[in-house]
Chains A and B, each alone.
Chain A
Amino acid sequence: MINKNLIVYLLILIFGLAAPFVFPAFKVQLSILCVLIILAITWNIQGGEMGYNSFGNILFYGLGMYLCASVQVGMFFPLAEWTESGGEKTFVHTPAQFFQGFGVGLAVAAIVPTIVAGLIGYSILGLRGHYFAICTLGLGVAAGEISGGIEIIGAGQGFTTPPFPNIGGLEARGEFFYFCSFITLVLTFVAVKSIYSTRFKLVLNAIRDNEDKAEAMGIQTMKYKIIGWMISAFFCGLAGGIMGGLVGYIDSTDVAFDGREMGVFMVLMAILGGKGTLWGPVIGATLFHIFKEGFWTFFLGWQYVALGVLIVVIVIYFPEGIMGWLREKYPERFGEVIDEADRKAQVELK
């Protein structure tokens, strides 16, 4: 059994490493797919396992994006002049500066959102259910609106991230960002998988199922909730930092704190795949991305209409997601023991 799983993981890993060379035209798409999967997995930590449906994880994503780019620029050049020049190539990073800045930027992009999550976690995670959902929605939109008014990071006109140094051209750029996002995805998956095999996941599930009872059993729920949120903020920030470099241009409400796209996508992908499972978000994000890229071009301008319809349909008719549907269909595969006689009796009762 273990061997079989190992083979599957190895195959995926090999596929992931070979993908940019096998499908060179889809490098950017594959990088975006990796980022989407990371976002879905991190959303699932609260939304699925902990039962705290957050619309505000986009806050960490956008924060990571702005921080990574700002650090990358600010380490070598004056930030205010950079944003004022608006993408004019007056300052050019040498390759060494670019990679050094990007590395430090990613570290900052991961750490600062984690700290932010820890700081606001105690206040925000005290809210429950729909109050939490609306509060985080407000948080995400407020962050977008406020960052759109701050001059030093480009305000309304946006922020151009440092262009990739002139080595190897577009191919090298695509490969660099693909491997960045793929390695982050692998790290995220491994981290989350190992977390899910510990007591920590059971505590999160206990909080989801009945928080008062979990507290009565002596679990310090607040501590675990904050840690859970910090973990997801960490990877969200990383994903944001990479995405900022990949897109090359940061706008407050359309790219960074894009509640209408990324903020909804991460919820939708996790629900589509099946929340509260390890593989659900991965499958959901992959299918969603394929659907999005495959059909968006046919809708041409109608994509948001399609998105709205998709949300409504998935939420109403498919709230358990693909993994939930599979679980209902093949319960044996999920380790559930079925008593055939009992099952027949139930069917007859219906």
Chain B
Amino acid sequence: MDLLIFQAPILMVQASMDGILLGILFALIAYGMALQWGVMNIINIAQGDLVILGGYIAYFMYLYGIHPAWGVIVSPIIMYFVGIGIYKLVINKVVDRDLFISILATFGISILFMQLMNFAFGADVVLANSGYGTTMLFDSSVVLPNSKIFAAIISIIFAIGLVIYMKKSKLGRAIRATAQNARAAKILGVDTEKVYAATFGINAALCGVAGALISITFTIHPYMGLPYTIRSFMIVIVAGLGNLPGVAISGMGLGVFEEFADYILGTEFRIGSVFLLLVLILVYRRFKLSKKREYLK
């Protein structure tokens, strides 16, 4: 228990700023999660591993002398095709099945990816150095790396771009129609199979963007995927499906919570507190709903 944060209130500002910038990234991943959950009714445990894979793409560009910020463009393009590949191989066989089947199948994919990344890229914690420097605020008592600000801005641009794309484009309309009623969409001539593939691809591409940003702002490691899955799941259930402002706000809330937990409980309990928070949120929702004799659906 470290109470330094209460003795030096400026640390609270630091933690909040860090948390908000981090939370915007979480919200981007959660947006992908909400998209596939809403459209295909699938909970993808491998979400976090897609993020990490996207991060490694940016890291490799950095290793070969290309500025890792270009990963924001390259990583989603590669990840889109990876996503389509996963869809064709596995996901399209579990779309209409029991949700537990999809959870277990994607859990298998997650283990597979984790280990393949471990072989391909090694078990070291890595980061791609962007060399952006830092911004000092309040007489240099709050330090914000520029890379985090860059990451937040890019995430917002991608999120807004995707919202507009979903509203205006033909594919976006088809995706939304399928989410509302897959059968009716099929009757009206939407190729739902293609829509599902595209949805999963877009989700993977979003993960790619987020991963590239994470690799330049934080660190990546083959086994760090699962916490990102849990975070995005948590954000989606707090915000509710199809509630985009809610996703953004609860993402930032989670980021701030994590930074505070980090300061107060210590770094070793950071991931544990995220998982515990998930349990607490679910239990809270369950008790709230059980008063009306309902349950989480």
Q: Residues of A with Cβ closer than 8 Å to B?
A: 53, 123-124, 126-131, 133-135, 137-139, 141-142, 144-146, 148-149, 155-156, 260, 264, 267, 271, 301-302, 304-305, 307-312, 315-316, 319
In the complex the two chains form, is A264's CB within 8 Å of B99's CB? Answer: no
Q: Which residues of B contact A124 (CB under 8 A)?
A: 279, 283
27 inter-chain pairs at a CB distance below 8 angstroms, sorted by A residue, are A123-B286, A126-B287, A127-B295, A128-B295, A128-B296, A130-B43, A131-B286, A133-B103, A135-B282, A137-B230, A138-B230, A138-B278, A139-B275, A142-B275, A142-B279, A145-B271, A146-B269, A146-B276, A155-B268, A264-B107, A308-B108, A308-B115, A311-B104, A311-B107, A312-B108, A316-B93, A316-B101
Q: Which residues of B contact A305 (CB under 8 A)?
A: 112, 115-116, 119
Complex Cα–Cα for A308 and B100 (A): 16
Closest to A268 in B: B104
11 extra interface residue pairs, beta carbon distance < 8 Å, beyond A134-B230, A146-B269? A126-B290, A127-B283, A127-B296, A135-B283, A138-B275, A305-B116, A308-B108, A308-B113, A311-B107, A312-B90, A316-B101
Q: Which residues of chain A have C-beta atoms less than 8 A from B226's C-beta?
A: 141
User: Are A315 and B275 touching (Cβ within 8 A)?
Assistant: no
Interface residues on B, range: 35 or more
Interface centre among A149, A260, A264, A308 (most CB of B within 10 A): A308
In the complex, what distance in Å separates the CA atom of A57 from the CA atom of B233?
21
The minimal Cβ–Cβ distance linking B179 to chain A, given in whole angstroms, is: 18
Decide: B283 and A123 in contact? CB cutoff 8 A. Answer: yes
Say yes or no for B94: interface residue by CB 8 A criterion. Answer: yes
| Contact assessment for B275 and A141 in the assembled complex, using a CB-CB cutoff below 8 Å | yes
Residue of A nearest to B226 (CB): A141
B109: CB under 8 A from chain A?
yes
Is B122 interfacial (CB-CB < 8 Å)?
Answer: no
Contact B101 A127 (CB under 8 A): no
Complex Cα spacing A297 to B233, Å: 36
* A302 partner residues in chain B, CB cutoff 8 A: 115, 119
- Taking a contact as CB atoms closer than 8 A, the residue among B108, B114, B268, B283 that contacts A309 in the complex is B108
Given A123-B283, A134-B43, A135-B279, is A145 in contact with B272 using a C-beta cutoff of 8 Å?
yes
Which of B107, B110, B276 is the one whose CB lies under 8 Å from A138? B276
B5 part of interface (Cβ distance < 8 Å): no
Residue pair B100, A316 in contact (C-beta under 8 Å): no
- B105 on the A face (CB < 8 A): yes
A311 CB contacts on chain B under 8 angstroms: 104-105, 107-108, 111
Give the complex CA separation of A138 and B274 in angstroms. 9
B286 — which chain A residues lie within 8 A by C-beta? Answer: 123, 126-127, 131
Most buried by A among B111, B226, B233, B295: B111
The answer on a CB contact under 8 Å between A134 and B103 is yes
Complex: chain A residue closest to B113, CB-CB: A308
Q: How far is the CA of A142 from the CA of B265 in the complex (A)?
A: 14
The chain B residue sitting closest to A313, CB to CB, is B108
A308-B230 in contact given A128-B295, A145-B271 (Cβ < 8 Å): no
Contacts of A134 in B (CB 8 A): 43, 103, 230, 233, 278, 282
CA distance A271 to B114 in the complex (A): 23
Q: Mark B261-289, 1 if CB is under 8 A from A, else 0.
A: 00000101101110110110011001100
Which chain A residues lie closer than 8 Å to B295 at the CB level?
126-128
Taking CB atoms and an 8 Å cut-off, the chain B residues in 236-251 that contact chain A are: 237
* 10 cross-chain pairs, A with B, having the tightest CB-CB distances, nearest first: A308-B112, A311-B108, A145-B272, A142-B275, A304-B115, A308-B111, A149-B268, A312-B108, A138-B278, A146-B272
Which chain A residues border B43 with CB–CB below 8 Å?
A: 130, 134
Measured CB to CB, the nearest residue on chain B to A307 is B111
Residues of A with C-beta under 8 A to B275: 138-139, 141-142, 145
For A135, the chain B residues whose CB sits under 8 A away are 278-279, 282-283
CB B258 to nearest CB in A, in angstroms, measures 13
In the complex, the chain A residue whose C-beta lies closest to that of B289 is A126
- Determine the residue in chain A with the shortest Cβ distance to B98: A319
If A126-B295, A304-B115, A305-B116 touch, whether A315 touches B269 (CB-CB below 8 Å) is: no
Q: What distance in Å separates the Cβ of B38 from its nearest Cβ neighbour in chain A? A: 14
When C-beta atoms are compared, the residue in chain A nearest to B272 turns out to be A145
Determine the distance from Cα of A137 to Cα of B97 in the docked complex, in whole angstroms: 20
State whether B287 touches A123 (Cβ < 8 A).
Answer: yes
- Chain A contacts for B269, CB-based, 8 A: 145-146, 149
Query: How close is A261's CB to chain B, nearest CB, in angstroms?
Result: 10
Residues of B within 8 A of A308 (CB): 108-115
Q: Which of B74-108 contact A (CB under 8 A)?
A: 90, 93-94, 97, 99-101, 103-105, 107-108
Min CB distance, B182 to chain A, in Å? 19
Chain B residues near A126: list those with CB within 8 A: 283, 286-287, 290, 295
